[in-house]
Structure 1
Amino acid sequence: MGCDSYHKAWRSLQHACNVIRGIPENNYTLLPQYLHMMKLRNPGTVANIKWTADNKFKYVFFTYGASIEGWKHCRPVMMMDATFLKSKCRGVLMIAVEKDGNNSIFPLAFGIVDSENNESYRWFFRHVKKVFGTRKDLSIIFDRHSSITTAIKELYPDTQHGICIYHMEKNLQKYFPSEAILSLFYNATTTYKQAEFRTYMSQIQQIDPKAAEYIEEEPPKRWARSFHTNRRYNMLTTNNVETMNFVLRKAREFPIMACIDYIQNKLQNWFYQRKLDATGSSHDLTCWAKKILLEKISRGFTMKVSFPVNLVNGRVMLAYVPGNNLLDNYVSTLICFCFDLLVQRVLFLTAILLFMAALLVDSLLWRNLICITASCWLIGSEYGVHRLCLSLDLLP
C-alpha cells in the first residue's frame, strides 16, 4: 500500500512538472522557435543548434547581445568549465565567463551538449571564436580536461593557456598528501618572481622528488604566475565558473527550454542591476576599483619615507618605515603595495592626479597637505617614478 502511494505521488509530481515546464522530449521540438524569439527580444543575441543526420538534437550554443558587447570591456582572461545536467535527458552545460571592471563575474557564452568530448568542445569553442573573436594578450583558464586542451590548442593556438591551480592542488593532495608540499606548491604558483619559484620547487624536490616530477609534467607557463607571459589579473583558478555552476544549480534539473529560460532571467536581472549601479556612479572608476584605491591611500597615510632616496642601477630605491607621523621634512608619502601590473599603473596615475591637485594649493603648504604615492616596485613604470622624484627634488 505504501509503495503504491509513493509511486502515485511521484507520478503526480512528474505530471505537475511536465505541465509547468513542458515534457522534456517535446522541448527539443520547440527549441528552434524559442531561440528565434529569444534573438528577436534580445538584439545582438546569437544562438545555433546542431542536429544529427536523423534530425535529432545534438548541441546548442547561445550568447546574449549584452555579453557580446560587454566582452570588449572585460579583462582578457576567459575561464571555461562544464557541469552535468540532471534532467531526464541529461547532457552537459558548458559555461565561459570573464570578469568585468567591477571585479564581478561576467557570463560570456553557454552551450548544452551530449557529453564532454573533443567534438563537442571544438564545436563550442568554434562558435565562441566566431562570435567574440580574439583579443590581444588573451588568456584562457580551464581544468586539465584533455578535450578542452585539444580544442583550445586547435582554435586558439596563439592564446596563452592556463590551468586552474585549484584542480592541480586537489590532484597533488590526492597523490602526495603533505601539507608542506601543498604550501610550497601554492607559493610557487602565486609568486611574481621566477627566482622565488625555483626556490620553492627546489624545496619540494628535497621533500619528495616524485611530487616535483608530477608538478612539472605541465609546463610552468600554464600554471605559475611568474612564467605566464600575459596578465592574469590575479585569476589563477576557475572558481568564477564554479560560482556560476552554483548559481545555476536549479536550472540543471530543468528541461532544456526551462534551463535556458532560467539562465536568461538570471542574466537579465544581473545586467539590469549593473546598469543601474553604473548609471548612478559619478566617477570614471568602478566601485570596486575606487574601494581598493581608498584602502591603499588610507594605508599609505600611516607610513613615511626615510631619506635619502637613491637611484640604484636605474631603479628608484625608497626605504620606508611604518609610523604615525604624516610629515617627513617636505614630503608625506603613501606607499602602495602593488601586486598586479594593472593596479600598479592605476596607482601611479593616481599619484600624478594628486600632484596636479596639489598645484591648486598654496605653494608653501601643499607638500605638507598631500601624501605622495611612491611605489617601491612599480613594474614597467620605473622611468615614471624617476621623473616623479625629480619633479619633487628627491633626486639630485
Structure 2
Amino acid sequence: MPGTVAVLRTSPVRIGAQLDESQAYFHRLFWTFSPCIEAFHHCKPLVSIDGTHLYGKYEKTLLVAIAQDGNSNILPVAFALVEGENAESWAFFLSYLREHVTLQPGLLVISDRHNGIKAALEAPNRGWLPPSVYRIFCIRHVAANFALAFKGKDARRLLMNAVYAKTEVEFHYWFDILRSNDPAMCDWANRIEYSLWTQHCDEGRRFGHMTTNISECVNSILKGVRNLPVCSLVKATYGRLAELFVRKGREAEAQQGTGQQFSQHLVKCIDKRNLACRFRIQR
C-alpha cells in the first residue's frame, strides 16, 4: 500500500569470533499504514501504548499504539515486533511513532509504569518531553502496585475515589480519609506526581481515559494471530484494519446521509444533558 511505513532492523550472525556478512537475524520491525496516519489527525490528541507477548515458536513482543476518535471508535495506529519490553525496544518504537504518526504538539501518552517506557519518553531530543508530549499512568496499574503494598479492598477503593475525583476539593476529601486510615498510604501516593495519576490535575488532556484498556482491547482482538510468522502477522493487521476502515466508512456515510452533523457519541451526550436539564426544571 502506498504510504506504508516499515522499518526493519536485523542483527548480525556470528560464527565464533567472526561476523557472517552474508546472513542476518530478524531483530525488530516497526510498521504503520497510510490510512492510520491520516486518521490519527482526526482523533483525540491521545495515544495509548502497551505491549503483549507472542506465543508459540516466535518469542517476541508486539508493541501497539492505539488512538480513539470522537465517536469512541478504537484505532490502532502503529505496531512493532521487538525482542522484549526494554528501554532500547521502546525507544525504537516510540521514535518512529513520533516521526511518522504522532507529529502534533500537546499529545498525551497513557501507559503503565514500565521503566523502559519511562526511559524512552524522558530521553532528550526524541520529541516526547513537555510541552510537546505529556505522559500519564494507567490507573489500573497504579492501583495494582498500591494493593501490593497495602492489603485490603477499602484501601484500594479509597485510592480510586481520590484518583477519579474531578475537583481538588473532592480529591483532598478522599485523600484525607486515606490518610486517617494509614498515613503511609498517602506517603506512597505522594511519591508519584499528581499530574500522572489523578484526574483533577490532568488539565483536560485525558478525555476521561484513566486506563490503557483501549490498548488491551486490541491485544485481545489480535490474540488469534499472535503465534503467526512475522509476515503473516503483519498481513493480519493490514487485513483487519482494512475491514475496520470499510465498515466505519460506511457507517459514517450512512450518518451523513441522514443529515447528522455530529457523531453518535456526541449526540447521545447532548441528549443526556438535555434530559437532565429538563428533569431539574420540572423539579
Shorter-chain TM-score above 0.5:
yes
Q: Which residue of 1 aligns with 2:17?
A: none
**Which contiguous aligned blocks of 4+ residues in structure 1 show a shift greater than 6 angstroms?**
none
Q: For each residue in 1:69-89, what CA deviation from the matched residue of structure 2 results, as whole angstroms up to 9, or x when unmatched?
A: 011110011100000000302
> Could you tell me how far apart the structure 2 residues matched to 1:142 and 1:91 are?
20
Of the three residues 37, 47, 54, the one matched with 2:6 is: 47
> Could you tell me how far apart the structure 2 residues matched to 1:230 and 1:80 are?
19
Q: Within 5 Å, give how 1:24-39 maps onto structure 2.
A: none
Of the three residues 250, 256, 260, the one matched with 1:276 is: 250
Q: Within 5 Å, give how 1:311-326 maps onto structure 2.
A: 323=283
Q: Within 5 Å, give how 1:41-190 maps onto structure 2.
A: 42-54=1-13, 55-154=24-123, 155=126, 156-158=128-130, 159-190=133-164
Shift of residue 197 of structure 1? 1.5
> Could you tell me how far apart the structure 2 residues matched to 1:79 and 1:115 are?
18
Question: CA distance change for structure 1 residues 299 and 133 in 2, over 3 Å: closer, same or farther?
Answer: closer
Residue pair 1:251, 1:262 contacting (<8 A) in 2 also: yes
Shift of residue 162 of structure 1? 0.2
Q: Secondary structure at the match of 1:69?
A: helix
Of the three residues 272, 275, 279, the one matched with 1:298 is: 275
Q: For each residue in 1:6-57, what CA deviation from the matched residue of structure 2 results, as whole angstroms up to 9, or x when unmatched?
A: xxxxxxxxxxxxxxxxxxxxxxxxxxxxxxxxxxxx2221111011133211
Residue pair 1:160, 1:230 contacting (<8 A) in 2 also: no
Percent identical among aligned pairs is: 25
Residue pair 2:58, 2:227 contacting (<8 A) in 1 also: no
Q: Which residue of 2 aligns with 1:252?
A: 226
> Could you tell me how far apart the structure 1 residues matched to 2:73 and 2:182 are?
39
* Higher RCO (Cα < 8 Å, 6 or more apart): 2
Segments of 5+ residues of structure 1 without an aligned counterpart are 1-41, 305-321, 324-396
Q: Secondary structure at the match of 1:52?
A: strand
Q: Which residue of 2 aligns with 1:28?
A: none
> Could you tell me how far apart the structure 1 residues matched to 2:80 and 2:204 are?
27
Of the three residues 240, 252, 263, the one matched with 2:214 is: 240
Shift of residue 255 of structure 1? 1.7
2:205 is aligned with 1:231: yes
Q: Which amino acid aligns with 2:129?
A: P
Q: Secondary structure at the match of 1:93?
A: strand
Q: Within 5 Å, give how 1:332-371 maps onto structure 2.
A: none
Q: For each residue in 1:124-149, what CA deviation from the matched residue of structure 2 results, as whole angstroms up to 9, or x when unmatched?
A: 11100110243232110000100001
Residue pair 1:78, 1:96 contacting (<8 A) in 2 also: yes
Question: CA distance change for structure 1 residues 71 and 168 in 2, over 3 Å: closer, same or farther?
Answer: same
TM-score using structure 2 length: 0.89
> Could you tell me how far apart the structure 1 residues matched to 2:204 and 2:265 are?
23
Of the three residues 201, 211, 220, the one matched with 2:185 is: 211
Q: For each residue in 1:240-286, what CA deviation from the matched residue of structure 2 results, as whole angstroms up to 9, or x when unmatched?
A: 00101111111112122222222211111111100001111122211
2:159 is aligned with 1:194: no
> Could you tell me how far apart the structure 1 residues matched to 2:174 and 2:134 are?
24
Q: Which amino acid aligns with 1:288?
A: H
Q: Which residue of 2 aligns with 1:326?
A: none
Q: Secondary structure at the match of 1:277?
A: helix
In terms of Rg, which structure is larger? Answer: 1
TM-score using structure 1 length: 0.65
> Could you tell me how far apart the structure 2 residues matched to 1:134 and 1:45 are?
16
Of the three residues 242, 262, 276, the one matched with 2:236 is: 262
Segments of 5+ residues of structure 2 without an aligned counterpart are 14-23
Q: Which amino acid aligns with 1:48?
A: V
Q: For each residue in 1:141-195, what CA deviation from the matched residue of structure 2 results, as whole angstroms up to 9, or x when unmatched?
A: 0001000011111230112110000111122223212222222211211112122
Shift of residue 297 of structure 1? 1.9
> Could you tell me how far apart the structure 1 residues matched to 2:7 and 2:100 are?
11
